[in-house]
Structure 1
């Protein structure tokens, strides 16, 4: 698929990025990916924007990966969208019968008419079936965008007083459910499982773009996403990469292990050291690394799966995280969708053994995960891809005014129900802050 390409120099990249996102919000379909200039080894762009669907695919889990493969093979173009957690039902004999207040499709991708790639002080525009003049006009229109405050006339649109955030699982019920999961672990059914709970609001009225900007500002993660599909929104401050493909190299970077930041530099550094040496957190991370190695081996060239970094400590605005990097190589004939299908859902959001963990998760959780703990990202025309893990995120259906965010933690034999509950509240802190 041929695209017209034009490169412009920008004087103030951060200001341009904000104007670009405000301009983008006029379109029905928007995917905005922001690295927040976070230093990372496998980074391609500072930010990417895709808007305005030329073609799209929307489906439930049944035969979803095959449908996506056919769509991606046919278009051979840039595709942006998401994979929901419940696509697990396409690859295994599993189901998703819990409550779903959001009503998002299980899979959605679109072929954008307009693409923007920001790197340093340049923006590269790639337009489908459109001429240079339209690119120039759009570029100057973006430069002339006002601030978000001027767009809404100075009115504070963030969250209305009518929003009441509720907890789907009470603290008492949460403690009981984690105790039940520990029983499964002690019986040997699983070694580890990621257990999540939902916070939600009904009859919610928010301005999604403003909430995203606030969430991103206080978190500044490397895999932030503003996603819009008509009345469905994802506002994500994710620090985690699920899977990336560059040529024949595949990279997975699971997160397991969380510690609080501290305003006191000495105490903050001690928090990092404590996390690095915490046997429970290291055990969680290493178990998932083993699972990821096994998943990658299903498509890897023989002997190519390697642990590039084990239990590295990385700092973000809200928390310190323990992150490992596992890589493999694949044959040129291996399809992009097959690599994703054989590793999805990501091990950091399931557990080990994976299928047993997902069955127990479905039994004990009370909300269908949907896009939460799924992935958002893109395919290139060459069949490379990059996807995040949807965590630290707010989901919103403007049509039925339902708002949702979920948090979770890894349950191992070393876990205590009270400790896991406190970890969930720590992870929910940023969402509560922007919604209150």
Structure 2
């Protein structure tokens, strides 16, 4: 059935309208709260009609065990239900979900010494019957109905009635103060010692660069949706989101795009290099200039750009992979980031699952060479990464995709927010600086829990 789409007056944005839907199991919001060219659209997904999950390496379709790999089943389903999207909107039908870092480990059969600390599937992809799409540039709202669960006209009428009757108000208790108890899998000196060992691996020639992560567990009585609203207000990002899966929630303010593909054109945008924002305009400008001129950070990013180019060349047309920007500095609420942009053209006959298989997990959060870096990561880190440094986003039935890198993200389950923080390590890394960088990256999330 062809998806029906209606345009609706934009009285409230998708993030405000999500007040209506956030408590529904399976409801998701891909949130572009930082309005720039990357953060143009926000998307609400409602009423999932098909679910693909991977748990402990096994595939489940609509809750039942299934044969084959996720990539095979996903690719076959998307091919059988292909729907052209010539609207200009990022997606009109398809799946929204996530892939954990642990899911990516399975691509290369990299084992882990760590047990699971959360009851969270390695992957969830929900195909949604209804989408609410906000175009923040054009200030328009679009409602879609695929007709997989109910007659599209009736569903669209119900959505319009709900939105028309909606009056935005603050969530009860949103401005209360909540105490936060914080623990970490690494004490400061132990983390620095692990970084020092990683530097030894670099000096010995095993790797050139690797990402080192520590896990923070924060116990707060603040509800996850209230935490998300605080986070997006104080730390807007182009690739954030809120996913409600019933027994756990995902709250993200990611600044990093991993993979976008539209009409076979592929883009990846790795981040390497971070400075905190200054207290005064003068300090702010000085820190930005320091990042722009940092040989270490440029060296880190250059190594990751080379890795990402190689990953894209596995599935892109020869000669099509190009670096279109190398050392851009992007400004966020609490940090500056050094960013590059790489593009390519997917080879004929290949699809979004093939692209994901070639490039996931992202090089900016593994290292180079990727497989050896991932082996060393598992040896030196103290916990499974889980969703942290995985990816969340959408895969459209037209073959498109847009996926982030899961950083600046917390998973809420059983009263605990779990988040990862880390950074790229090279032979030039300063142990104290690397630890302080993780503290800075955690700041926005921890503040939003209070």
- What TM-score, normalized to structure 2? 0.90
Compared CA separation, residues 282 and 94, structure 1 to 2 (3 A): same
What's the CA shift for 1:114?
1.2
Distance 2:102 2:74 in 1: 15
User: 2:181 is paired with a residue of what secondary structure?
Assistant: coil
Among 33, 36, 40, the residue aligned to 1:39: 36
Indicate the larger mover: 233-242 or 267-276: 267-276
User: 1:342 is paired with a residue of what secondary structure?
Assistant: helix
Compared CA separation, residues 159 and 345, structure 1 to 2 (3 A): farther
User: 1:104 is paired with a residue of what secondary structure?
Assistant: coil
2:331 counterpart of 1:315: yes
Matching residue of 1:29: 26
Matching residue of 2:203: 186
Distance 1:308 1:291 in 2: 15
Contact 1:158 1:211 in 2 (8 A): no
What's the CA shift for 1:260?
1.3
What's the CA shift for 1:148?
4.7
String of CA shifts for 1:269-304, please: whole Å, max 9, x gaps. 221111011001000100000000000000010111
Distance 1:303 1:329 in 2: 9
Contact 1:182 1:411 in 2 (8 A): yes
Distance 1:16 1:386 in 2: 20
Contiguous gaps of at least 5 residues in structure 2: 59-68, 83-92
> Which runs of structure 2 are paired with 1:218-229 in the superposition (5 Å)?
218-229=234-245
Among 58, 62, 65, the residue aligned to 2:71: 65
What's the CA shift for 1:37?
4.5
What's the CA shift for 1:144?
2.7
> Which runs of structure 2 are paired with 1:399-414 in the superposition (5 Å)?
400-414=414-428
Contact 1:6 1:132 in 2 (8 A): no
What's the CA shift for 1:394?
1.0
Distance 1:405 1:413 in 2: 26
String of CA shifts for 1:346-388, please: whole Å, max 9, x gaps. 0001000000000000111111111110111111111010001
Distance 1:176 1:19 in 2: 45
Among 9, 14, 17, the residue aligned to 1:17: 14
> Which runs of structure 2 are paired with 1:316-335 in the superposition (5 Å)?
316-335=332-351
User: 2:385 is paired with a residue of what secondary structure?
Assistant: coil
User: 2:121 is paired with a residue of what secondary structure?
Assistant: coil
Distance 1:140 1:394 in 2: 33
String of CA shifts for 1:182-224, please: whole Å, max 9, x gaps. 111111111100000011046x543111100111111111111
Matching residue of 1:125: 143
Contact 2:199 2:427 in 1 (8 A): yes
Distance 1:422 1:330 in 2: 39
Compared CA separation, residues 248 and 27, structure 1 to 2 (3 A): same
Contact 2:394 2:403 in 1 (8 A): yes
Among 160, 166, 178, the residue aligned to 1:145: 166
Distance 2:26 2:417 in 1: 19
Structure 1 residue runs of 4+, over 6 Å off? none
Contact 1:158 1:435 in 2 (8 A): no
Compared CA separation, residues 165 and 408, structure 1 to 2 (3 A): same
What's the CA shift for 1:74?
4.0
Compared CA separation, residues 239 and 220, structure 1 to 2 (3 A): same
String of CA shifts for 1:313-362, please: whole Å, max 9, x gaps. 11111111100001111123111100111000000010000000000001
2:156 counterpart of 1:135: yes
Contact 1:160 1:206 in 2 (8 A): yes
2:423 counterpart of 1:428: no
What's the CA shift for 1:160?
4.5
Matching residue of 2:216: 199
User: 2:359 is paired with a residue of what secondary structure?
Assistant: coil
Aligned residues: 424
What's the CA shift for 1:29?
0.6
Compared CA separation, residues 156 and 308, structure 1 to 2 (3 A): closer
Matching residue of 1:7: 7
User: 2:13 is paired with a residue of what secondary structure?
Assistant: helix
When the two chains are superposed, the root-mean-square deviation of aligned CA atoms in Å is 1.8
What's the CA shift for 1:32?
0.8
Contiguous gaps of at least 5 residues in structure 1: none
What's the CA shift for 1:9?
1.8
What's the CA shift for 1:90?
2.7
Indicate the larger mover: 244-253 or 135-144: 135-144
What's the CA shift for 1:158?
6.3
Compared CA separation, residues 2 and 297, structure 1 to 2 (3 A): same
Matching residue of 1:209: 225
Distance 2:347 2:176 in 1: 48
